[in-house]
Structure 1
């Protein structure tokens, strides 16, 4: 059955929804450039603690009438916050030791890693297309980090932390797919954002929480908290009610391109053929790994009523890794899977 989300865009809202997702990808890509500039002056944990505290307060205030509280939802949201907060810390500390463009491309590996981990953790079959994506991602990683003619590699502590963050983001996506349902998506997102703020605040406490000292740094924090955090969360909840998960995944996989574009335009790093080739290979790998299986695009099969999974049950069953299963549910409920 073809739904309105899967047809060509007819209404203004249908046309606006994918543009909203693209706008989100641009905003998320800009965070690498903004963060990279600030990490010379502010510790990563301090910066994240302030950013996500503001985002949690504003996000909660905007959607408080849609929140559906329960012990289960709070517990699941807290776990999501713990995982996502850990990924944010790894990614941001890694960004302090690598370039914005490389950080963006390596962080995007979570799209490729997710079906692999899904296959390992959930015993799902990994599609050949996913293995091709892994090969392309490896080629892209080599192009970005190996210095030609010098016999050396740029894969240091920053790159290692960023790859580790991609692995944790993948775990976050899989767990989101296990617990997320449409009716509690917004509540989970709010609790998760608050959880990230708590995790980052705890990480910042040993050295004391340092606040931005420059007016420009405060504007940057507000930009990341309100536009790249709260606004994108609201936009995604709305946009993905009108855009298929596959199309959303492909649109959001352009985030590393914007990260590199902003860094190059700002003069943080030069444009090079290695960046172009490596980045292209990794983006193609992300798109390949986010496409659905043909079997999932066929007409649904009518089955006896007693075997139908209850609606809004979240991701529970075993599916083929790379079929966009866990990734699909994550994109439906997680307002910021990689930020």
Structure 2
């Protein structure tokens, strides 16, 4: 399932870039959110015993809906102004940024080599943004960089807000999608008539973005955070940049310069190095703070 999530997310950048050729970004986002919300509401209605939403689900879902919407705004505008391969690689910075924002990561401590892995990723971003040479970065690349920071904050926030609360992934995701639909309906209203003029291919991409890249991926992400940690949930993105590059080059016909190719290699290396360090550190037992007690005599044991 996790590998499928990575493949779906990796392919979402080319799908979003293609759809934004024929529709305004805000209309794409509203359609994606609205279709996703309808699908989730149908799933909630089908589960008769769990139709009601708890207060925690309403409150947490509404807040996370705002942060998730911010991520998708930055991502969609970003991918519209850069390559799908670049977008998928730069957003993978989330893997190394999330542990820095997640207070529960590694008991609050990260080794110095983790920061070295982060430095490799930042160098990779510089190379990816350079394009055909060292010049002013493209607006799309900068937006994807901002999206990576906000996305890491969102994942960390999911972990903090859902820990110890009665929050079910399906209900939480539904509230997030409803909140996002409400946020985008007014800004996108002027372009909504264009939805009636779309052909089957564009509708297919919108449905793919909604049902697979939103409903399935959001549910899987929320479930992973609740059952582990925000840092571990970021590992869902582990192979996402690889698939983003594969789809962008294989299906989108995109090309890499030698400099950008080096950046891609460094990004994948840095993110995998960082996630392996975080996993090993989080699995390490916490240090003993007090010395063990020594029994006074065998008879008292």
The TM tier, using the shorter chain, reads 0.7 to 0.9
Separation of aligned partners in 1, 2:223 and 2:74: 29
**2:65 — aligned with what?**
81
Asked if structure 2 preserves the Cα contact closer than 8 Å seen for 1:89 and 1:200, the reply is no
How much does 1:251 deviate? 4.9
Separation of aligned partners in 2, 1:235 and 1:116: 22
**1:32 — aligned with what?**
13
Separation of aligned partners in 2, 1:202 and 1:21: 35
Separation of aligned partners in 2, 1:193 and 1:257: 28
Separation of aligned partners in 2, 1:30 and 1:125: 34
Asked if structure 2 preserves the Cα contact closer than 8 Å seen for 1:30 and 1:258, the reply is yes
**1:270 — aligned with what?**
255
Q: Are residue 115 (structure 1) and residue 99 (structure 2) matched?
A: yes
Pick aligned residue for 1:259 from 241, 244, 263: 244
Task: Pick which of 277-286 and 257-266 moved more.
Answer: 277-286
TM-score for the superposition, normalised by structure 2: 0.80
Change (3 A) 1:230 1:139: same
Compare CA radii of gyration and give the structure with the larger one. Answer: 2
Q: Deviations over 1:29-64 (max 9, x none)?
A: 111011111211101110110111111111232244
Pick aligned residue for 1:158 from 140, 143, 154: 140
**2:185 — aligned with what?**
201
**1:91 — aligned with what?**
75
Q: Which runs of 5+ in 2 are unaligned?
A: 290-301
Change (3 A) 1:152 1:244: closer
Asked if structure 2 preserves the Cα contact closer than 8 Å seen for 1:250 and 1:287, the reply is no
Q: Which runs of 5+ in 1 are unaligned?
A: 1-19, 304-339
TM-score for the superposition, normalised by structure 1: 0.72
Separation of aligned partners in 2, 1:300 and 1:218: 51
**2:29 — aligned with what?**
48
Q: Are residue 136 (structure 1) and residue 120 (structure 2) matched?
A: yes
Change (3 A) 1:194 1:268: farther
| Between structures 1 and 2, the one with greater helix share | 2
Asked if structure 2 preserves the Cα contact closer than 8 Å seen for 1:21 and 1:248, the reply is no
How much does 1:195 deviate? 1.6
